[in-house]
C-alpha cells in the first residue's frame, strides 16, 4: 500500500485542502530563499513551488536539516522538485508544506533546458522510480509556455533604486566571483543607469583615505570586463552578514532573476546591492516581457545619437572627456 501511495502525486490545488496530512508533491521551483541558521541548531530554507493547477501564488515548502549540505541545493530557479511525505500545514492563513527530516524526502531535477531524467540531488530516503519521468516531462512541457502573472509596475529598474529601501529588481547575472571560500560577489545589470551620487568628503580625508575606484579587493580580469555590456550600470551584489558562508552556488551567469527584497546602499561613494536574510530569488523566463523590454532598451541605446552616454549626463552631455580633434596645418 505504501508503494502505491508513493506514486500518488497530488496537484497543488488539491494539496492545499489536505491540512495536517502527508502528501507527495511535484512542482517547479519558482522562488527560493537563502539558506540560513534557524533559531535552534538546524539550518533552514524555504522554496516556493508551482504547477499548472496552482501557479499563482504557488506553495511554500519549508525545510530544516542538521547541515546546509542536507538542504535542497537548487541549481537554478525553474528546476523541478519531487517531494514525498511532506505535511501540509497553515500559518496565518497561508498553507505551506513542511519537510520533516525524519520521514520526508526530495529529489531535484533540471528544468526546461534539460532532457535528462536523473536527479542531481536526492535526500537520504528518496527512491527514484520509472514513473517519475512522466511527471518531470509534463512539468517541463508546461514550463515552456509559462509566463509570470505579475504586474511590471511591481518591479524597479536600477535607475530607480533608493538607498536603504527593500526593492524588487529583475536583473541579469553577468558574472559570479568567489572571492574567498563561500564568499561571493555577483555582478548584475538591467540596461539602465543607477542614480549618480554626490560624494561629500574633505580634501584632508582624501589624502589619508582616498575613496576607491572600485569596491572589490582585487579588480576583475580584463577578459571578464570585456564581456560586460557597454551601456547601463553594472551593480555589484554581496551577501549580508546574516547570510555569509552559506554559498550561492545555484546562480549561473546569463540567467535573469527577480531579486525580491534586496537592499541597495552606497558604500565608499559607489552603489552596491546586499542580499539579506529576507531576500528571495524568483524564477524569470527569458521570454518574459519585462526581460525583452530591458534587452530592447539596451539595443536602442546603442543605436542612438549619444551612444553610450549615461542618462545622468542629459539633457546636456558632459564635455569633460569629449575627444579633441587636432588638425595639422601645412604652410
Q: Are residues 117 and 253 in the same domain?
A: no
Q: Are residues 140 and 160 in the same domain?
A: no
What is the structure's pLDDT at 303?
A: 82
Q: What is the CATH number of the domain that holds 200?
A: 2.40.50.140
Q: How far is CA 265 from CA 163, 167, 205, 312, in A?
A: 5, 11, 21, 19
Q: Are residues 128 and 164 in the same domain?
A: no
What is the structure's pLDDT at 319?
A: 47
What is the structure's pLDDT at 261?
A: 94
**Is residue 313 over pLDDT 80?**
no
Q: Are residues 86 and 25 in the same domain?
A: yes
Q: Are residues 289 and 158 in the same domain?
A: yes
Output 216-222 pairs: Cβ under 8 A, ≥24 positions apart: 216/177, 216/179, 216/185, 217/179, 218/179, 220/175, 220/177, 220/187
What is the structure's pLDDT at 273?
A: 93
Q: What is the pTM of this model?
A: 0.78
Number of domains in the chain: 2
134 in any annotated domain: yes
Q: Are residues 31 and 124 in the same domain?
A: yes
Confidence class for position 205, pLDDT limits 50, 70, 90: low
Neighbours of 4 (CB within 10 A): 7
- Contact between residue 171 and residue 279 where contact means Cβ atoms under 8 Å apart: no
Q: Are residues 137 and 157 in the same domain?
A: no
The residue out of 94, 124, 144 marking a domain boundary is: 144
What is the structure's pLDDT at 90?
A: 95
**Is residue 4 over pLDDT 50?**
no
Which of 122-126, 169-173, 242-246 is the least confident region?
Answer: 242-246
**Is residue 147 over pLDDT 70?**
yes
**Is residue 171 over pLDDT 60?**
yes
Q: Where are the beta strands (DSSP E) in the chain?
A: 9-10, 22-33, 36-37, 43-50, 59-65, 80-91, 94-99, 105-109, 121-122, 166-180, 183-189, 235-239, 256-267, 270-275, 280-283
- Which residue range forms the structural domain that includes residue 35? 2-144
Q: Mean pLDDT throughout 309-315?
A: 56
Amino acid at each position: 500500500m505504501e508503494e502505491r501511495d508513493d506514486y500518488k502525486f497530488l496537484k497543488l490545488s488539491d494539496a492545499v485542502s489536505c491540512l495536517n496530512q502527508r502528501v507527495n508533491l511535484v512542482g517547479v521551483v519558482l522562488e527560493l530563499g537563502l539558506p540560513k541558521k534557524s533559531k535552534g541548531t538546524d539550518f533552514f530554507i524555504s522554496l516556493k513551488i508551482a504547477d499548472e493547477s496552482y501557479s499563482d501564488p504557488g506553495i511554500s515548502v519549508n525545510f530544516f536539516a542538521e547541515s546546509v549540505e542536507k538542504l535542497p541545493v537548487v541549481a537554478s530557479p525553474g528546476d523541478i522538485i519531487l517531494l514525498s511525505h511532506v505535511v501540509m500545514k497553515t500559518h496565518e492563513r497561508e498553507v505551506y508544506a513542511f519537510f520533516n527530516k525524519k520521514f520526508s524526502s526530495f529529489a531535484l531535477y533540471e528544468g526546461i533546458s534539460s532532457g535528462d531524467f536523473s536527479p542531481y540531488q536526492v535526500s537520504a530516503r528518496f527512491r527514484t522510480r520509472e514513473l517519475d519521468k512522466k511527471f518531470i516531462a509534463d512539468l517541463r512541457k508546461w514550463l515552456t509556455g509559462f509566463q509570470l502573472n505579475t504586474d511590471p509596475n511591481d518591479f524597479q529598474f536600477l535607475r530607480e533604486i533608493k538607498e536603504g529601501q527593500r526593492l524588487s529588481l529583475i536583473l541579469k547575472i553577468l558574472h559570479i566571483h568567489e572571492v574567498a571560500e563561500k564568499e561571493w560577489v555577483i555582478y548584475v545589470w538591467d540596461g539602465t543607469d543607477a542614480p549618480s551620487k554626490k560624494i561629500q568628503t574633505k580634501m584632508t580625508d582624501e589624502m589619508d583615505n582616498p575613496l576607491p575606484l572600485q569596491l572589490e579587493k582585487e579588480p576583475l580580469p580584463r577578459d571578464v570586463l570585456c564581456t560586460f555590456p557597454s551601456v547601463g550600470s553594472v551593480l555589484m551584489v554581496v551577501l549580508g552578514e546574516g547570510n555569509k558562508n552559506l554559498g550561492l552556488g545555484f546562480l549561473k551567469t546569463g540567467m535573469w532573476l527577480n531579486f525580491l527584497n534586496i537592499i541597495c546602499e552606497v558604500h565608499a561613494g559607489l552603489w552596491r546591492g546586499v542580499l539579506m536574510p529576507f531576500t528571495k530569488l524568483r524564477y524569470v523566463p527569458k521570454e518574459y516581457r519585462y526581460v525583452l523590454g530591458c534587452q530592447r532598451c539596451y539595443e536602442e541605446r546603442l543605436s542612438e545619437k549619444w551612444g553610450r552616454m549615461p542618462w545622468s549626463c542629459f539633457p546636456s552631455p558632459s564635455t569633460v572627456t569629449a575627444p579633441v580633434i587636432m588638425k595639422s596645418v601645412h604652410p
